[in-house]
Amino acid sequence: MRLFIHIFLLVLIISTPASANVFNAQMTRLDNGMDVVVIPNTRAPVVHHMVWYKVGSAQEDAGTSGSAHFLEHLLFRGTDKIPDGEFSKIIRGLGGESNAFTSYDYTGYYETVAKEHLARVMEMEADRMRGLTLSDEAVLRERDVVLEERRQRTDNNPTARFFEQMRARLFPDHPYGIPVIGWMDELSGLQKDNALKFYNHYYHPNNAVLVVAGDIAFDDVVKLAQDTYGKIPASQTDLSFTFPTLSSFDDLQTYSYSDPQVSEPLLLIGTRAPSYKQDPKMSLALQVIEEAVSGGPTTPLYNTLVIEQKKAISASLSYSASAADTASLWISVVPVEGETLDALTIAVQDFLADLLQTSLSEEEITNAKTRLKREAIFARDSLRTAPMVIGRALSVGETLQSVETWPEQINAVTQDDIKDALVFAFGEQARQRTVVGQMQVEK
Amino acid sequence: MTRFFLTCLCLFTLFIVTGCDRDDEKILDIQTFTTPAGFDVWFVKDTSVPVLSTTFLFKGAGAVVLNEETQGLTQILSNMLDEGAGELDSTAFQKALLDDSIQMSFSASRDNFSGNLKTLSEKKERAFELLALALTEPRFDAEPLQRMINANLSRVRGNLTDPNWIAARITNDKAFEGHPYRLNSGGTLSSLPEITVEDLQDFTTDYLTQDRLIIGVAGDSTQKELSALIDKTFSKLPKAGVSPEIANIKLQNQGQAFHYPLDVPQSVVTMVLPGITRDNPDYYAFQVMNQIFGAGGFGARLTKSIREEQGLAYGIFSTLSRTEYAQILFITSSTKNESVGQLVESVKKEMGKIATNLVSADEMNDAKNYIVGSLPLSFTTTDAISGTLVALQEENLPTDYLNTFPDSIQAITLEDIRNIAAKMLVPEQIMTVIVGDAETLDSPVQTVSELENVR
């Protein structure tokens, strides 16, 4: 039993699982450029339907943080065909669930319904790809809702505020350093035009991916897609986007956070690392390292800091490979009572120096790979996992092939790849990409 | 505490969302069988993925049997059962689980003690062998015990300024004043360090017993295989244990409002009303009414009024909590401090509307369609299926319940909905808990300055 801190799940969603072909998905592209992926799953007479737009908070204009997410909310506020407030109600009336989410690189909308309702859902989702009509009143009310969402997720929660500040420091002058939900002062000034500008530029079939999982044939989905999304013309505008270059720090950055609401200390170390898209080889090695070092209470990080040294209550390392630009790796440790964060920081640094020195044993690497490959099997035990993993991969610029062959790629990681990745993540040079953050209880 | 509160709710949620829109097709093909040793097992076979999920529950072995001094014991037990058993110490046991990717977890609610074993089907022999060890030969060594106590103390300290956790804590304290349900099933800063190996051993012997056991399995196996695995795993448990007398409790402090001042920008608001039991003839009418009123968020009246029309909150939910000795209906939301009064009044207004005027036929039909139609949505993972099999048995429901349920829902009329709303949504009965920096509250409130069952 170990108690992990799940703050990362706010932005990152589990590491990507995948065998020879993990999910057996099929894919095609409509004439207007929209990608269509179908994942067979016959367990229940249900389909999970998702539309992913390859745009997220990273594409927001300066000073308008929160607009991508704000727009996501507004997509439920009406089109010519479906009045404000009716979208969710109609899905409910079909016995279905619907919701949406926004991240740095993508925005996703989904509905889970009995398979006979798939056509209706596709019609509705296609309608709001281009058909949004917003009243000023609805926009202002929805902005109030998003402000409450920010208060609930972040402003009422010291750990979330700390994490937000850590990201801002790890990714300075880069969109990944700006919270997806937006900074309060910018969010509260967002107007209908901010959202509509974003909508009109980015919400087009050639910037979207349709993913359907369930008890339904590929050809049937493609036909339905042609009749709905296929009718929408592609945008002729250039939708490409370039990320600003991240510069190195002069040296290790440190950050100390405190406020009256902090009631338990936390050490959080963030390091920038390549995403799978940027450097598949190193990313795969980092995935193996994550599992080998922090896969459970008997792997070295927890075992050393919590069990042997008794300096920490919990300790975990997480790396999320999926990003259009640079990814990040986080170590999070809660000290035992009486242990200072400074002393704990040194203990973690010693641990990492040791890891760098001795690397991982052949056995540790093999075991970690075996466990990761099994994750790909467990991933199939859920209707929603495959569309999530595949939709995200395609949205950030990876390929379906990269997901389907993930276990083989993990298997191919070598001892040398591991060493290179350890040097990159924890070597001397890594100091220039790392922020050490301490959240302290106020004296 | 929130976490444990939510655990209870999850099991119950399975029942709100129940039904089937295909008369000729079974929602779940449930097999039932009794093992040679006499265990009744409910099983859904699914070989589409080579995994197996087993959920088991010891009915009545929950935190409700604990007292002020021992609160938190079941929480620690749920942390400790996989921390070493038989010849395997904590590290060896955890390594055995990790090496074969076996996920073993235990959890303690107020009413029950339960667990889940998830494994690749090729590892099921080993998985059940380790589960048998955990349940029948737990070591409770001093090192992991201290570690788990420390982790829980850290969790409690971290929660001390969390408005949601505080609101749940006060809600339990006040709603169930005088009853064991008021206690903190996660343990307190003073009770947790006092938990001993003997406490854990005694509880295991007294409560993790065969007569309380309920088993549900989903995935890639056969009745024959499971019979052998289950008998080997659970036969060594004591046949029967102790059953303390516990009284039912009605919602306490009705009509009262409590405020815990906390310097945060948004207040957490909880409004509690007396609930309803499953065997009440109005139970299905309640489900349809609550679906329209506020269950599930989107599409419900509370969400429409409070979120969509007034922009007061990100979410608002009205949820029935049915535990063994109490039933409460609670409405939860959070809003900026200056809007608390408006939110509370708006909820009362919606209560009045649905209790006075008939809802429209469309609204009723949408609600019924959702309750009935959304059932299969949750049966897409083996964990959800095995969990449902246990929940059905815990409620003493028949295997065809999921198929007969839709008729009970469809039979509800517009008048039934108004009548049950008038009976249950009574503003004078609301117990309100507000945590935050709310400035002006219309009705008188009692300030709570010290949390009970925390320190």
Q: What is the mean pLDDT of each run of 10 residues along chain A (443 residues)?
A: 37 40 96 98 94 98 97 96 94 95 98 97 98 96 98 97 98 98 98 96 98 97 98 95 96 97 97 98 98 97 98 97 98 97 98 97 98 96 97 98 97 98 97 98 88
Inter-CA distances, B425 with A248, A327, B50, Å: 60, 50, 47
pLDDT above 90 (res B298): no
Residue B381 forms part of a structural domain: no
Q: What is the mean pLDDT of residues B44-69?
A: 97
SS3 A265: coil
Token couple for A92:
């409910």
**Cβ atoms within 10 Å, residue A245:** 9
Question: In 3D, which of B46, B3, B16 has the Cα closest to residue B375?
Answer: B16
Token couple for A382:
């859920």
CA angle (B10, B173, B206) in 5-degree steps? 65
Inter-CA distances, B88 with B135, B197, B237, Å: 13, 17, 19
Q: Measured between beta carbons, which residues in chain B are less than 8 angstroms from residue A383? A: 380-381
Contact at CB, B313 and A148, closer than 8 angstroms: yes
Nearest CA in chain A to B25: A45
Residue B421 forms part of a structural domain: yes
Q: Look-up: residue for tokens 């001397």?
A: A428
pLDDT above 50 (res B22): no
Q: Are A22 and A376 in contact (CB under 8 A)?
A: yes
**Cβ atoms within 10 Å, residue B12:** 17
Contact at CB, A371 and B370, closer than 8 angstroms: no
Contact at CB, B46 and A43, closer than 8 angstroms: yes
**With bands split at pLDDT 50, 70 and 90, how would you rate the model's confidence at B378?**
confident
How far is A245 from chain B, CA to nearest CA, in Å? 36
3-state helix, strand, coil in chain A (%, to 5): 45, 20, 35
Residue B60 — left, alpha, or beta (φ > 0 → left; ψ -120 to 50 → alpha)?
left
SS3 B45: strand
Whether residues B174 and B285 fall in one domain: no
pLDDT digits 0-9 by tens, B252-272: 999 999 999 999 999 999 999
pLDDT above 70 (res B102): yes
Q: Give CATH for domain A253-441.
A: 3.30.830.10
Q: What is the pLDDT of residue A20?
A: 67
Whether residues B151 and B40 fall in one domain: yes
Inter-CA distances, A133 with A199, A204, B307, Å: 11, 16, 19
Whether the CB of B376 is below 8 Å from some CB of chain A: the reply is yes
A-facing residues of B in 394-453 (CB < 8 A) are none
**Reading across the β-sheet that carries B327-336, which strands appear in turn?**
B316-322, B327-336, B266-274, B431-436, B257-261, B446-447
DSSP code of B176?
T
Question: How far apart (Å, rounded) are the C-alpha atoms in residues B65 and B324?
Answer: 12
Which sequence positions of A are flagged as catalytic? Answer: 72
Whether the CB of B341 is below 8 Å from some CB of chain A: the reply is no
* Number of domains comprising chain B: 2
Contact at CB, A44 and B163, closer than 8 angstroms: no
Q: Which amino acid is at A366?
A: T
Nearest CA in chain B to A304: B91
Contact at CB, B51 and A377, closer than 8 angstroms: yes
**With bands split at pLDDT 50, 70 and 90, how would you rate the model's confidence at B435?**
very high
Whether the CB of A259 is below 8 Å from some CB of chain B: the reply is no
Question: How far apart (Å, rounded) are the C-alpha atoms in residues B352 and B356?
Answer: 6
SS3 A329: strand
Chains A–B, number of C-beta pairs less than 8 Å apart:
189
Bridge partners (DSSP) listed for residue B43: B31, B217
How far is B93 from chain A, CA to nearest CA, in Å? 9
Question: How far apart (Å, rounded) are the C-alpha atoms in residues A85 and B304?
Answer: 7
Whether residues B133 and B281 fall in one domain: no
Contact at CB, B101 and A140, closer than 8 angstroms: no
Q: What is the pLDDT of residue B13?
A: 31
Whether residues B30 and B103 fall in one domain: yes
Cα B201 from chain centroid (whole Å): 25
Write down how long chain B is.
Answer: 455
Q: What is the pLDDT of residue B438?
A: 85
User: How is B55-115 classified by DSSP, letter by letter?
Assistant: EEEETT-SGGG--TTTTTHHHHHHHHTTS-BTTB-HHHHHHHHHHTT-EEEEEE-SS-EEE
Whether the CB of A44 is below 8 Å from some CB of chain B: the reply is yes
pLDDT digits 0-9 by tens, B386-420: 999 999 999 999 999 999 999 999 999 999 999 99
Query: Within 13 Å of residue B319, how many CA atoms lie on the same side as its CB?
Result: 19
Q: What is the pLDDT of residue B440?
A: 63
Residue B383 forms part of a structural domain: no
Q: Give CATH for domain A7-231.
A: 3.30.830.10
**With bands split at pLDDT 50, 70 and 90, how would you rate the model's confidence at B296?**
confident
Nearest CA in chain A to B97: A296
Q: Are B157 and A441 in contact (CB under 8 A)?
A: no
Q: Where are the domains of chain A?
A: 7-231, 253-441
Contact at CB, B379 and A43, closer than 8 angstroms: yes
Contacts of B36 (CB under 8 A, 6+ apart): B227, B231
Residue B268 forms part of a structural domain: yes
How far is B368 from chain A, CA to nearest CA, in Å? 8
Q: Which amino acid is at A363?
A: E
Whether the CB of B365 is below 8 Å from some CB of chain A: the reply is yes
User: Does A253-441 match A7-231 at the fold level?
Assistant: yes
Q: Measured between beta carbons, which residues in chain B are less than 8 angstroms from residue A374? A: 101, 120
Q: What is the mean pLDDT of residues B323-352?
A: 97
**With bands split at pLDDT 50, 70 and 90, how would you rate the model's confidence at B18?**
very low
Write down how long chain A is.
Answer: 443
Q: What is the mean pLDDT of residues B232-261?
A: 96
Whether residues B370 and B299 fall in one domain: yes
Whether residues B276 and B408 fall in one domain: yes
Whether residues B218 and B303 fall in one domain: no
How far is B325 from chain A, CA to nearest CA, in Å? 30
Q: What are phi and psi of B196, to 5 degrees?
A: -115, 170
Whether residues B126 and B269 fall in one domain: no
Contact at CB, A93 and B365, closer than 8 angstroms: yes
Question: In 3D, which of A266, A148, A152, A130 has the Cα closest to residue A208?
Answer: A130
Whether residues B60 and B182 fall in one domain: yes
Whether the CB of B295 is below 8 Å from some CB of chain A: the reply is no
Question: How far apart (Å, rounded) are the C-alpha atoms in residues A171 and A326?
Answer: 9
| CATH code, B305 | 3.30.830.10
Residue B455 forms part of a structural domain: no
Indicate the average pLDDT of chain B.
93
Q: What is the mean pLDDT of residues B125-143?
A: 98
Nearest CA in chain A to B370: A95
Question: How far apart (Å, rounded) are the C-alpha atoms in residues A433 and A90?
Answer: 48
Where among B219, B234, B249 does a domain terminate? B234
Q: What is the pLDDT of residue B418?
A: 98
Residue B2 forms part of a structural domain: no
Q: Are A164 and A439 in contact (CB under 8 A)?
A: no
B-facing residues of A in 295-354 (CB < 8 A) are 295-299, 303, 306-307, 313-314, 334, 336-337
Q: Measured between beta carbons, which residues in chain A are less than 8 angstroms from residue B370? A: 92-93, 95-96
Inter-CA distances, A83 with A80, A117, A148, A273, Å: 7, 20, 23, 45
pLDDT digits 0-9 by tens, A244-268: 999 999 999 999 999 999 999 999 9
Query: Within 13 Å of residue B159, how many CA atoms lie on the same side as its CB?
Result: 24
Contact at CB, A157 and B22, closer than 8 angstroms: no
Q: Are A275 and A322 in contact (CB under 8 A)?
A: yes
Whether the CB of B309 is below 8 Å from some CB of chain A: the reply is yes
ipTM: 0.92
**Structural domain boundaries enclosing B442:** 257-374+399-447
Q: Are A103 and A179 in contact (CB under 8 A)?
A: no
Whether residues B354 and B427 fall in one domain: yes
Contact at CB, A264 and B143, closer than 8 angstroms: no
Whether residues B171 and B263 fall in one domain: no
